[in-house]
Structure 1
């Protein structure tokens, strides 16, 4: 058994495994185009007798957390041939990939799970949900006059990126998008339509990416920076009422559209989406922007069965500017009792620490649910030092 990065010669084997596992087919022309864009160094495989048995892709990405960009390892395309399943191959790939991310300085990792309980065994945990609306045209927001202009057909990547960056950085867990990702989203001559709202000062403040198919308007992205741009874009959407019978849109979990509708009885779903896990506790905590306050310290015992470098007690000193200095407790000082040295203020696992620092769940709630153990005053301290934020993700990988 060998774990290694793929080469260009492995492309056909990778494609066959991917198509079989995810139940799709591509034409020869599509595969040739994919081969031209293939980055083999991003895919890791397990080979047995030189045959590819399992694979995953590790994407070098960045994510916003409290407005700050963190290096993030995105895991995608995890696949195994059926006759090779339940032999621990994916576990070996995940262990190997965690080490690769740690060495590369990627302090956090995201993935889209095929089965949430499976990835929890390796330290990942749900960090985001989104709202999915299906709105019949007779329940769309009322059309209102808004100063400014909505312009269709805009494809200027810089305009979209500038709006997205302001919007995405206000959430935790959104991607820092590069030019390549924008080019894939705004492919010329695709079936997707676009529109941008410009305020009275001719500044772009919101956009929509959508398709119209079978009398349905399917919104891929709806982004607005203020209430005026929200109203302008929803009026634009509502003006399609003679063309479509319903509108489908995905929104962040803190979205307030139903409250703002005249009739809020629309179809709504809350959908669990991606999972996250801290890859390196020390690196992540020292990058993390805690709230400004007095100098405070606490100790956190972390249990991480998949990344041994995270295990142990971490002494955390947060300064008045919200920056942390983190050190792992090592040897027992001479003359100190073992039970005193092994004491920690908070006991937790890597999943719970991740969702607290991502802002998905609050420290006090986690303590009340029994997810954290320890001193209540230290939980209150973290409650005050972890900024409030909503998690959101508009991409898929």
Structure 2
């Protein structure tokens, strides 16, 4: 009988064979040992046949992600793969179900992933939450260089220097990773090129850029800015490369304002649908989530009927209570505790709830789109109390 379990250290080669086949890439021999050193078998879950063959696998990475200025434990799903003779037999569904149970047990109330197919993962309660903008600017479109009170200096790639700036920047968005030292070392600072930091007039770091220049293209790998002076200073620094490049490539949040701030906004701008998210434990998530305080000092209450076919602990009727300070709770109520005809009940599925709380989709929009069915008073309460913040993710996993 098939078994789902964590991988063992000596199953690294088997996992790599599956990943290379499924994702159609080849790991160079000199990189295989680097991958082995970074292998966390306890993060990898496999579906094994009764004779011990690895059929399907899923990577569940323990992250923390920023949501409304708070860090939430988040399970990052990646590396989902199956051999061809094991596909369409429910293996991935079983792995995802196991992952949801694991995340709930570990207190990871949120999950995120980069989908190979949005429709496929929507079947499992994930929803599109993060989009980004990709800019390609010929040098003639670069922002004009301006003087600022601070200065930009090329520095060593130092975790202690860059991480505090990044964390302050990341906390302004929903879905950004809180990076630990290992992530910085293996996924951020290992990329080729230089690091430059903007220091304000008091010598405090307020922004940075990690980038490389090759074949007359300047590619920005990572960027963070905490002040308008830092933004101007970094772009002025980038402009100093105009004689050695023909264009610049950079990825930015969806609400980035550069096109409005430059003389000519007709440079190449592409919207990239990027990551999906899923609330794994709705009561646990709501207990951590900072709702907007009440302007009148009163509490709000909405009866939610949540649909979730994959995580039964989320499915049913709940009372969402948000006090005057914005502290929320989600408590299950018996179905006979609300009117049978549904009067006064707000209906939503787990994917739409995720889109509302971490995906930047307003309750009114979800109502108009048919993803939320709420009485007028409940809709007004949700509009008042659910905050809005731009979703963004600079990383990939």
Tell me the TM-score range normalised by the shorter chain: over 0.9
Question: Secondary structure of the equivalent of 2:340?
Answer: helix
Output aligned runs, 1:278-293, within 5 Å.
278-293=279-294
The C-alpha deviation readout for 1:107-165, integer Å capped at 9, x for no partner, is 01000000000000000000010000000001111111222211113322112111111
Describe the shift of the 1:83–1:286 C-alpha distance in structure 2 as closer, same or farther (beyond 3 A): same
Output aligned runs, 1:1-397, within 5 Å.
1-48=2-49, 49-187=51-189, 191-293=192-294, 294-330=298-334, 332=336, 339=340, 344-397=344-397
Gaps of 5+ in 2: none
Q: Is the 8 A contact 1:54 1:90 kept in 2?
A: yes
- Please, what TM-score do these two structures have when normalized by structure 1? 0.96
Q: Is the 8 A contact 1:313 1:344 kept in 2?
A: no
Deviation at 1:11, TM superposition (A): 0.7
Deviation at 1:186, TM superposition (A): 5.0
In 1: Cα distance, 2:188 partner to 2:360 partner? 30
Deviation at 1:228, TM superposition (A): 0.6
Please, what is the CA RMSD of the aligned residues? 1.5
The C-alpha deviation readout for 1:153-207, integer Å capped at 9, x for no partner, is 332211211111111101111111111111124546x522110010111110000
Deviation at 1:101, TM superposition (A): 0.6
In 2: Cα distance, 1:196 partner to 1:376 partner? 50
In 1: Cα distance, 2:389 partner to 2:330 partner? 23
Q: Is the 8 A contact 1:126 1:275 kept in 2?
A: yes
Describe the shift of the 1:250–1:186 C-alpha distance in structure 2 as closer, same or farther (beyond 3 A): closer
In 1: Cα distance, 2:152 partner to 2:392 partner? 25
Deviation at 1:359, TM superposition (A): 4.5
Describe the shift of the 1:99–1:218 C-alpha distance in structure 2 as closer, same or farther (beyond 3 A): same
In 1: Cα distance, 2:276 partner to 2:187 partner? 23
Q: How many residues align?
A: 392
Gaps of 5+ in 1: none
Runs of 4 or more off by more than 6 Å in structure 1? none
Q: Is the 8 A contact 1:208 1:223 kept in 2?
A: yes
In 2: Cα distance, 1:64 partner to 1:248 partner? 26
Greater shift in the superposed pair: 135-144 or 18-27: 18-27
Deviation at 1:42, TM superposition (A): 0.3
Greater shift in the superposed pair: 312-321 or 246-255: 312-321
Deviation at 1:321, TM superposition (A): 1.0
